[in-house]
Structure 1
Amino acid sequence: MPPPGLQDYGHPPLPSQQDPGVLRVTTNLVLVPTLVEHNDGSIVYGLKASDFSLYDNGVPQQVHLDDDMDLTPISLVVCVERGRDAPLVQEEIQQLGTLLQLFTGGGHTDTALVAFDSKPVYLDGFSSNPSYVEQDLQSLAPGNGGAAILDAVGYSLDLLEHQPADHRRVLLLVSESRDHGSTHVTIPSLVQRIGQSNTLVLSLVFSPSRAELNNWGHGGGSRGTMNLLAPLMMTYNAMRKNIPRTLVHMTGGEYAPFGRDKRFQMDVVELANHAYNRYLLSFHPTDLTPGLHHLEVRLNNGIQAIVIARASYWATSPSG
């Protein structure tokens, strides 16, 4: 059960051992998670910083590659819808609990659980023992008719931003594709929030269209997916149609639609495998023009492979 006072939106917990003032200003350092795959979908390992070129609004940037990513602590929020049609996929959501260890990587991971219908509820605080999250997913009660995805993602970002500054931040969102009932977070504000946050979004989406069921969505990659993030208004429109997929494109994450079928576990395994086999590139922007910036990652030295990377970030003025 959550501690008293944590069920209302807008009051994320601030554990005493952490400094609530430690919020990373991402326009000083932008993290760019980058997955590199062969044409057959296998992962390309062993690349160096010199193998990458990174462009911010078309301008080349100096790239840094984190060589110790496997040792970097991770803060993971599992954000699960329980409203509207979520009870129809309750069996799959229960399976997710037993698969969470796949998302904890090889290093130290603190996992928290947020469940939502018309509002988000903080069920489990950050812990290195994911068994508490697994137990709550197994017994997750159906919610009401709401699906306040915008509010739930905003709340999850609040939680992650108050984690230690040296942690990588990952949001695993399990939901439908459209918002129903958010009252605190708007699409424009979430576009800015996610653009300012060095958070990798992974998405498992239920009740998709038949066309979506046959298509994995990768953030910022080719594979025939649309570039949803060119102009700002296109981003807003994309968010109205499919919030999780747009968040994935913005952060360089992964998007997997699922239904009531036997592929669920396979999709989760692939999602987790990709999540922790990304290269973590970073750069200090040379152009701090406020607003949405487009990112592009290319491979050097004649390397032929598919690049799936963070597609954008949001720059703020020096005054905030």
Structure 2
Amino acid sequence: MTIGLSSARFQFLILIVVLAFAASARSQIRARVDLVVVPVTVRDSGGKLITGLSKEDFVVLEDNKPQTVESFDVDPWPLSAAIVIDDGMSGTKSKMLYPPFAPPVFVALTAGFTAKDQMATFRYDSAVHKLADFTNDPAVIEKSLDVIKQFAETRPTERADIVGEKGGRFFRSILNVLSFGHQNEVNPRVGGVLNDAIHEAAMALENQPTDHRKIILVVSDGTIVGPNEIRFDQNRTLLLLKQIEVYGVSAAFGTFGSFKALSDYAASTGGDVYPGTSTKSIETAFNRIVEQARYQYVLGYVSNNRAEAATFRTITVTTRNGKYKVIHRRGYTQYPVQ
């Protein structure tokens, strides 16, 4: 009888300890829900990643009001990446993904990921199609993208404008804007539901581990064609809420507007856009994107602004060395404290 009573008391004490620990953990979580987390990338004027900075090297403003950086992390993060390929592009652009007598560029992409990372693939033209669910197996990802090669081989190719595809990009841009050579240029593509594709990728990332940095990597010419069910501003709200960064590889041939849709997403979320007008530049872009996403400074602060209703707050991060370029998301929506 005594042994049974002691056992019951022991189990009761264990239960008390467990409940106390859980309450403490919940209390800590509640205390940190107002922490604003801002991953940032720092580059020099030549585009080289800057490492070795400390918390004291950063200045954070929210709506132009100085904030105190309370948490600081420089450790590399595992990645969850939704890879989105625009297969509605012309054959000229799509074929850069599959160079003759060489592996597809996607081999260079998957080589940058580790066993701790997760990747999923999507394609889109006039609709969005999921190719592979999240996995850490590069072979599965590469195999899922084989279908893109079929589209690359069947899509019509582009004809060069009057300057030629090898002409100076800046000069060609001016001529395209002024519509010179328009009659000689063909840009055959099928659909372009970029907004819908980014939305579906973001929803898929929602269930990925919270200790992963979540990114969407888009290979596209940036063209939005036809009706999209989702608007840019709806996507921006979702991406900022879920802390998802958008990176783009632009396969467009040098017109000023070609980067706009991708750059708007990247600038809003803290991502970046790289040119992908050749097989080599696409592979370089893949390497730089994975490196940039994985090795970021992560700043955290508790806003000293107070919101009576949902309010969008702009974030500005600089370094005390004004020569560096700092890339980060533009802001977030602050909600009233409950």
TM-score of the two chains, using structure 2 as the length reference: 0.69
* Structure 1 residues 316 and 54, CA gap change in structure 2 (3 angstroms): closer
Matched, 1:92 2:112: no
* Structure 1 residues 175 and 263, CA gap change in structure 2 (3 angstroms): closer
User: Which residue number in structure 1 is paired with residue 236 of structure 2?
Assistant: 191
Is the Cα contact below 8 Å between 1:27 and 1:316 reproduced in 2?
no
| CA RMSD after TM alignment | 2.8
Is the Cα contact below 8 Å between 1:97 and 1:135 reproduced in 2?
no
Matched, 1:258 2:276: yes
User: Which residue number in structure 1 is paired with residue 43 of structure 2?
Assistant: 37
Deviation of 1:252 (Å): 1.8
* Structure 1 residues 318 and 123, CA gap change in structure 2 (3 angstroms): farther
User: Which residue number in structure 1 is paired with residue 165 of structure 2?
Assistant: none
* Structure 1 residues 88 and 180, CA gap change in structure 2 (3 angstroms): same
User: Which residue number in structure 1 is paired with residue 84 of structure 2?
Assistant: 79
Is the Cα contact below 8 Å between 1:292 and 1:314 reproduced in 2?
yes
Rounded to whole Å, the distance in 2 between the matches of 1:206 and 1:157 is 22
* Structure 1 residues 160 and 139, CA gap change in structure 2 (3 angstroms): same
Deviation of 1:273 (Å): 3.0
Q: Describe how 1:256-295 pairs up with structure 2 within 5 A.
A: 256-260=274-278, 262-287=280-305, 289=307, 290-295=310-315
Matched, 1:157 2:166: no
Residue type of the alignment partner of 1:31: V
Is the Cα contact below 8 Å between 2:319 and 2:326 reproduced in 1?
no
Rounded to whole Å, the distance in 2 between the matches of 1:130 and 1:169 is 18
Deviation of 1:249 (Å): 0.7
Is the Cα contact below 8 Å between 1:27 and 1:196 reproduced in 2?
no
Deviation of 1:176 (Å): 2.0
Deviations 1:13-57 (A, max 9, x none): xxxxxxxxxxxxx98343322122233332221111122121111
Rounded to whole Å, the distance in 2 between the matches of 1:73 and 1:264 is 22
Select 2:145's aligned residue among 111, 131, 137: 137
Residue type of the alignment partner of 2:264: T
Q: Deviation above 6 Å: which 4+ runs of structure 1?
A: none
User: Which residue number in structure 1 is paired with residue 56 of structure 2?
Assistant: 50
Residue type of the alignment partner of 2:72: L
Q: Describe how 1:85-234 pairs up with structure 2 within 5 A.
A: 85-94=89-98, 95-104=104-113, 108-140=116-148, 141-142=150-151, 145-210=190-255
Q: Describe how 1:56-75 pairs up with structure 2 within 5 A.
A: 56-63=62-69, 64-67=71-74, 69-70=75-76, 72-75=77-80
Deviation of 1:164 (Å): 2.0
Rounded to whole Å, the distance in 1 between the matches of 2:191 and 2:235 is 19
* Structure 1 residues 87 and 184, CA gap change in structure 2 (3 angstroms): same
* Structure 1 residues 197 and 288, CA gap change in structure 2 (3 angstroms): farther
Deviation of 1:158 (Å): 0.4
Deviations 1:177-236 (A, max 9, x none): 2311343211221232223231121100122434579xxxxxxxxxxxxxxxxxxxxxxx
Report SS of the residue matched to 1:185: coil
Rounded to whole Å, the distance in 2 between the matches of 1:307 and 1:291 is 27
Is the Cα contact below 8 Å between 1:147 and 1:181 reproduced in 2?
yes
Is the Cα contact below 8 Å between 1:194 and 1:247 reproduced in 2?
no
TM-score of the two chains, using structure 1 as the length reference: 0.72
User: Which residue number in structure 2 is paired with residue 226 of structure 1?
Assistant: none
Rounded to whole Å, the distance in 2 between the matches of 1:28 and 1:48 is 23
Rounded to whole Å, the distance in 1 between the matches of 2:138 and 2:303 is 36
Rounded to whole Å, the distance in 1 between the matches of 2:56 and 2:277 is 41
* Structure 1 residues 145 and 158, CA gap change in structure 2 (3 angstroms): same
Rounded to whole Å, the distance in 1 between the matches of 2:105 and 2:190 is 22
* Structure 1 residues 30 and 208, CA gap change in structure 2 (3 angstroms): farther
Residue type of the alignment partner of 2:142: E
Rounded to whole Å, the distance in 2 between the matches of 1:92 and 1:282 is 40
Report SS of the residue matched to 1:263: helix
Rg comparison, structure with higher value = 2
Is the Cα contact below 8 Å between 1:296 and 1:309 reproduced in 2?
no
Q: Can you give the 5+ residue segments of structure 2 that lack an aligned partner in the other structure?
A: 1-31, 99-103, 156-188
